[in-house]
Amino acid sequence: MELDECVQIFASESKELLEDMESALIGLEKKQNDPELINQIFRAVHTIKGSAGLFGFEDIIEFTHVVENVLDDIRNCLISVNTDIINIIFQCKDQINLYIEALISESQVDEEESKRLAELLKTYQNGEQEQNAAEELQADSSCPLTPFAETNEQDETSDKKPAEKDHYFHISFYLGEDSFRHGFSPKVILDQLRDIGEIISVTPHLDHFPNIENYCPDACYLGWFIIFNSDKSKQEIAEVFEFLDESSYHILPPETSVADFQKMISELPEDEYKAIGQMLIDIGSLTEKELNDALKANLETGELTGKILVSQGDVQAELVETALKKQAQVKQTKKNAISLIRIDASKLDTLVNLVGEMVISCAKTGRLIKKYSDEELTESASEMTETLEEMREVVLGLRMIQLTGTFNKFHRVVRDISSKLGKQINLEISGGETELDKSVIDQISDPLTHIIRNSIDHGVEMPEERISAGKESVGKIKLQAFHETGAICIKVSDDGRGINRNLVIEKAVRKGLIDSNKKYSDKEILNMIFEPGFSTASEITDISGRGVGMDVVKKNIESLRGTIDISSDEGKGTEIKIILPLTLAIIEGFNIGVADQSYIIPLDMVVECISVDDLITEEIHRKSYIKLRDEVLPLIDLQQFLALDEVTDTGKSRKNIVVVSYSGKKAGLIVDALYGEIQTVIKPLGRIFEGIAGFAGFTILGSGSVALIIDIPALINNAITQEHKYFNELSATTKKVKSNNEKIAEV
Amino acid sequence: MSDDIQELSNKSQLDNDQYLTFILSEEEFSLPIIHIKEIVEYCEITPVPLVPSFIKGVINLRGGVVPVIGLAERFGMEAGEITKRTCIVIVEIEHDSEVALMGCIVDKVLQVRDIEDDVIDPAPSFGSTINIDFIKGMAKIDEKIVAILEIEKILSVEEIAIVREMNKNKENATDDAD
C-alpha cells in the first residue's frame, strides 16, 4: 500500500520532470548550445533514473541509463547538438513517459522501441568514441605514471585546465597476507580488469614488506598500483574487487573528472538534504563499500568521514569540499524555499465539498436567526458568514492551477505536426499564468489539442502557398488565455487560410446535414463545423480530418459549462474562442419557483426578469413567443416543459418571465415565482438521473431541501429545434388574428 | 492461513444471514442488511420531473443528494399512505466499483432477524405478488412466507437504462404536447 503511494509519487514527479525536459528540448532546438538547457534535460533523465533505482525498476533504469550517457556526452561537448539527435531525445522522452504510464496502469512497454532508440543513441556515442580513442592514443605516450600521492597535487592544476578526455582510473590494492595461502592469484583481478578496460600500467607496492625476522615466505605482502583506462563507472570497476574479503583497495576516478564531479555535485537537487557520502555515491565517485569502510573508521577514530575518505584515497579532497559547500547550500535553500506539500486531489475535493456544505448550513442558520431578530445573534451570524465566504474563496483557490503546463505541451504538438506536414509554424502563447479549476484544466487539454491540430492541418497553409498569398512563410498560431467577466476565455487563432464558406455548405449538403435550398447566415455556416460527422479536409490525414472532431470538442466544452464560438476571415485566419467558468463546484444561482418547487438557473445566464401582465398573458396563451423591445423572444413554459402539475391554489396568478441568454441565443422562461440570488453548490445528477435532458445537477437550499439546477444550454437547444415550429405557428396565428380582425371589422 | 480465510468467509456468511424485514402494502418483505446503510424517517422529497413515477425524487441526506424510489410503485403495487411509521431505507448499490446510495420508501420497518439459508427457498416461478425477478428467495419465518428482495435487480443498471428510455419517451411526448 505504502509502496504503491511511493510509486504514484515517483510517477507524478517523473511526469513533471519529463514536462520540464520537453520544454527544455524545445528551447534547445532554438538555442542549440545552451548549456543550461542541456543540463536541465540531463538532470531530468538523471533524476528519473535515480528514483527508478530506488524502486528497482530495471527496465526504466536500463533505458534512462543509455539516454543519460548520451546526454552526458552532449553536456561534455562530445556529441554536438543537432536536430536529429533532438528528435531522438524527444522520442526517448516519450518512451520514458510510456514506461511511467505503464507503471501506473501496470501494463507492458514495447521493449522493441526502447531497443531501437538505444541502438540509435549508441551509434551517436560510438561515432564519438572512436574519435576519443584516437585522441587517447596520442595521449598515451605522455601518460603520467606517478604514484597517486602526487596525483592529488596534479588534480589541482589540471582542474584549472579545460577537461581533457582521459578516463584513467588510479587503482591501488593490497591482497591480504593470507591470499596466497588460499590459492588466490592477483592475475585474476588483472584479467578481469582487462575485460572491462585497458590497463595502462601496473606498479607493485612494496611498502608492506616487514623486517626480515617477521617475514613469512608464503604470505602476500604485495600491493599494486594500476593506471586503468575504462569507460565504466567506479562502481562497476569496484565490482571486480568486491569478492576480496581481506584485501583493501581504492579506486580513484579519472583525475580530470574532478571538475565533472564537482559540476555534478552542484547540480544535485537542492530539495533534499543528503550526507556528503551519499552525494559522492550519487555522482558515482564513491562506492557504497568505500563509504561504509570510512564510516567504520569514523566510529573508531572519531576523525571526519570526509578526511578519512581523502586519506584512504577514495575521493579527491576538492570533491569533499564541493560536497560540503553543496550541503550548506541545500540547508539554506531548504530554509528559504516555500514549503510545498503534495496533496491527494480527492482530499481537496472533499474539503471543497465540506465547505460547500458549510455554506449551505450557514445560510440555513442565517435564515433561522432572522426569525428571532436578536441583535447579537445576527451580528455573530454575519461574522460567521463573512469568514466562511473568505474560507470558501481560499479553498476554491486551492484547486486553481495555472494553464502554463497545459499550454506548454502544445509547443510539442505544433512542432511535431508542422514538421510532419512540412509547414512552418510559430506558436505564440500568452496568459499561461491564468488560473483555472483543476478539473477544468484536466478536461480542456484534449479539446484544445484538437483545435490546434485543426489549425495546423487545415488552417495554416504550406510555405509556398503563404508566400504567394502575400503572407510570411512562417505561420502563426496564437494561444491566449485571459479573464473575461467572471469567466476564463481561451482563444486559439491562426493566420491561415480561414474557412471557406462555400466548401462548408457544399460539404454539409453532401453529408445531408442541411437543406441545400435554404439560406444560412454566416454564423450558422461556421457553426456547421460543430455538426457530428463534418469534416472539410478532402483528404483524410492521420492528424485530423476524421470528422469526429469539432462536435466532440463542442460537447466536451459544454460539459464543462463552457461555450465555444468560431469566427473566420477567409484568407486571413480563424479564431476559436472558448469561454469557461472559473470553477465547477459553486455557481451563483437564481432561485425560481415553478409549480411549488424551487429550481435554480445559473445567474450568469439570466439577462432580466419581466413580470407578465394580463395583456402579455393573453399573448402567451396563443403563441410561444413575445415581442420584447422589437425582438422576438421565444418562450419556454417551464411548467409544461417539465410536465409538472399546475398549481391550483394560486393566490396571485401572476407569472414571470426570466430572460436567459446562452451563446447569443435568448429565451424567456415562464416561471411562477422569483426568489432571488443564491449561492449554490453543484452536486452531480448521479447515474440514475444522468439521462434527463434539461438539468445540470442538484443543489441543497438553505432550507435543507433539494433543488434542481436547470441546464439552460440544453433547454435552449431544445427550444431551437422547435424554432421552426414556432415560426410556422407564428405565421398561422398572424393569419388567424388577421382573419379574426377582419371578421370583427365585418361585424 | 487457509483457516483464517475460512473463518473470514464464515463471518461474512454470518452477516449475510441477517435480514431487515419491513412492510410494503401490508405485505412483509426483507432485504439483506449488508446492503443497508441506514434507515431515516420519511422527509420531504424533492420531485424530479421527467422521470418514471416510481422515482419519487431526491432527499438531502446530511448534505448528500440521494435519489428515492417508491418500492411499492416499483413493484406495481398501490403505495401506502404516508404515516408516522413510513421510512426511507438507504441502501448501498455497487456498480463499477462505485457505491451509490439510494433510498427506498417502505411503509413500516419491522426488525432485523437471522434467517438461515436452509429456510430460504428459491423464488417460485409464478404466483408471486411482484415480479419474480426482484425476488432472491422466499423465507419461512414463523409460519409466514417472506420474500427476500434482490436489491441489485430492483435498481440495476439495466433498469436504469430502461428508466432513461422511458424518460426519453416521455420527453418526446411532452415535445409533442407542445
- The pLDDT tens digits of the residues spanning A471-482 come to 888 888 999 988
Q: According to the 3-state scheme, what is the secondary structure of B89-153? A: EEEEEEECCEEEEEEEEECEEEEEEECCHHHEEECCCCCCCCCHHHEEEEEEECCEEEEEECHHH
pLDDT for res A614: 58
Question: Cβ separation of A725 and B178 shorter than 8 Å?
Answer: yes
Residues 628-657 of A with CB under 8 A from B: 640-644
8 Å CB contact between A199 and A240 = no
CA neighbor of A89 nearest in space, from A57, A58, A44: A44
**Measured between beta carbons, which residues in chain A are less than 8 angstroms from residue B167?**
691-692
For B44, the closest of A624, A691, A705 (CB atoms) is: A705
Q: What is the average per-residue pLDDT within B167-172?
A: 49
Rounded CA separation A656/A611 (Å): 4
Question: Cβ separation of B50 and A694 shorter than 8 Å?
Answer: yes
Mean of pLDDT over chain A:
75
Rounded CA separation A457/A469 (Å): 17
**Measured between beta carbons, which residues in chain B are less than 8 angstroms from residue A670?**
none
> Is residue A533 less than 8 Å (CB to CB) from chain B?
no
Q: Which of A225-234, A675-684, B64-73 has the highest mean pLDDT?
A: B64-73
In three-state secondary structure terms, A528 is helix
Find, in chain B, the residue whose alpha carbon is nearest to that of A598: B46
pLDDT for res B9: 46
pLDDT for res B162: 53
Residues 85-114 of B with CB under 8 A from A: 95, 100, 102
Q: What is the average per-residue pLDDT within A208-215?
A: 76
8 Å CB contact between B170 and A643 = yes
> Is residue B52 less than 8 Å (CB to CB) from chain A?
no
Q: How far is A688 from chain B (nearest CA, A)?
A: 6
Tell me which of A153 and B55 has the higher pLDDT.
B55
Q: Is residue B1 part of a domain?
A: no
Rounded CA separation B165/A625 (Å): 30
pLDDT for res B20: 92
Find, in chain A, the residue whose alpha carbon is nearest to that of B102: A688
For residue A156, name the pLDDT band (cuts at 50, 70, 90).
very low
CA neighbor of A707 nearest in space, from A678, A672, A670: A678
CA atoms lying within 13 Å on the CB side of residue A280: 32
Find, in chain A, the residue whose alpha carbon is nearest to that of B48: A708
Whether the CA torsion A392, A397, A398, A400 is positive or negative: it is positive
pLDDT for res A152: 39
Question: Cβ separation of A706 and B65 shorter than 8 Å?
Answer: yes
Q: How far is A694 from chain B (nearest CA, A)?
A: 9
**Measured between beta carbons, which residues in chain A are less than 8 angstroms from residue B90?**
none
pLDDT for res A632: 79
Q: Report all structural domains of chain A as residue ranges with CATH numbers, in order of start.
A: 3-129 (1.20.120.160), 167-255 (3.30.70), 257-338 (no CATH), 345-398 (1.10.287), 401-536+544-581 (3.30.565.10), 586-726 (2.30.30.40)
In three-state secondary structure terms, A486 is coil
Find, in chain B, the residue whose alpha carbon is nearest to that of A690: B164
CA atoms lying within 13 Å on the CB side of residue A163: 19
Interface size, chain A vs chain B, as Cβ–Cβ contacts under 8 Å: 73
pLDDT for res B104: 92
Rounded CA separation B130/B141 (Å): 19
**Measured between beta carbons, which residues in chain A are less than 8 angstroms from residue B174?**
640-641, 643
Question: Cβ separation of B49 and A704 shorter than 8 Å?
Answer: no
State the total domains in chain B: 1
8 Å CB contact between A322 and A265 = yes
Rounded CA separation A264/A283 (Å): 6
**Measured between beta carbons, which residues in chain B are less than 8 angstroms from residue A634?**
none
C-alpha cell at A627: 415581442
Q: Which residues pair with A598 in a beta bridge?
A: A593
Helix (H) or strand (E) holding A435: strand A435-437
pLDDT for res B105: 92
Which value, to the nearest 10 degrees, does the dihedral of the CA atoms of residues A679, A682, A688, A691 take?
A: 90
Q: Is residue B172's pLDDT more than 60?
A: no
Q: What 8-state DSSP symbol labels residue A182?
A: T
Q: Which residues contact A171 (CB under 8 A, 6 or more apart)?
A: A193, A224, A225, A226, A227, A228, A237, A249, A250, A251, A252
In three-state secondary structure terms, A716 is helix
8 Å CB contact between A407 and A441 = no
Least confident stretch, A57-61, A610-614, B64-68: A610-614
Rounded CA separation A444/A559 (Å): 11
pLDDT for res B14: 47
Q: What is the average per-residue pLDDT within A631-637?
A: 81
**Measured between beta carbons, which residues in chain A are less than 8 angstroms from residue B67?**
686, 688-689
**Beta strand pairing call for A656-662 and A665-671:** antiparallel
**Measured between beta carbons, which residues in chain A are less than 8 angstroms from residue B49?**
642-644, 692, 694, 708
For residue B89, name the pLDDT band (cuts at 50, 70, 90).
very high
Task: Give the pLDDT confidence of A234-247 residue by residue, as tens digits.
Answer: 777 777 776 665 45
pLDDT for res A127: 62
Rounded CA separation A32/A27 (Å): 8
C-alpha cell at A364: 440555513
Helix A375-398 crosses helix A345-372 at what angle (to 10 degrees)?
A: 160
Q: Which residues pair with A673 in a beta bridge?
A: A593
For residue B149, name the pLDDT band (cuts at 50, 70, 90).
confident
Neighbours of A51 (CB within 10 A): 21
Q: What is the average per-residue pLDDT within B62-82?
A: 83
Q: Is residue B18 part of a domain?
A: yes
Rounded CA separation B147/B152 (Å): 15
For residue B109, name the pLDDT band (cuts at 50, 70, 90).
very high
Q: Which residues pair with A683 in a beta bridge?
A: A698
Rounded CA separation A515/A630 (Å): 29
Residue B66 sits in a domain of what CATH number? 2.40.50.180
Helix (H) or strand (E) holding B176: helix B157-177
Find, in chain A, the residue whose alpha carbon is nearest to that of B159: A688
B113 to A399, B26, B31, B34: CA distances (angstroms): 47, 19, 10, 12
User: DSSP alpha helices (H): ranges in A106-163?
Assistant: 111-140, 148-160
| Burial of A232: CB neighbours in 10 Å, binned 0-12, 13-18, 19+ | middle
Q: Is residue B136 part of a domain?
A: yes
Task: Give the pLDDT confidence of A97-110 residue by residue, as tens digits.
Answer: 888 888 877 777 77
Rounded CA separation A343/A571 (Å): 48
List the domain range (segments joined by +) for residue B15: 11-177
The pTM score is: 0.47
Q: Is residue A151's pLDDT more than 50?
A: no
Q: Is residue B49 part of a domain?
A: yes
C-alpha cell at A663: 451563446
The number of helices, as runs of H, and strands, as runs of E, in chain B is 4, 11
For residue B88, name the pLDDT band (cuts at 50, 70, 90).
very high
Q: Is residue B80 part of a domain?
A: yes
Task: Give the pLDDT confidence of B5-53 residue by residue, as tens digits.
Answer: 455 444 444 456 889 999 988 888 999 988 899 999 898 898 888 777 8
B107 to A63, A81, B24, B76, B147: CA distances (angstroms): 66, 79, 5, 15, 16
pLDDT for res B90: 93
The alpha carbons of chain A give a radius of gyration, in whole angstroms, of 37
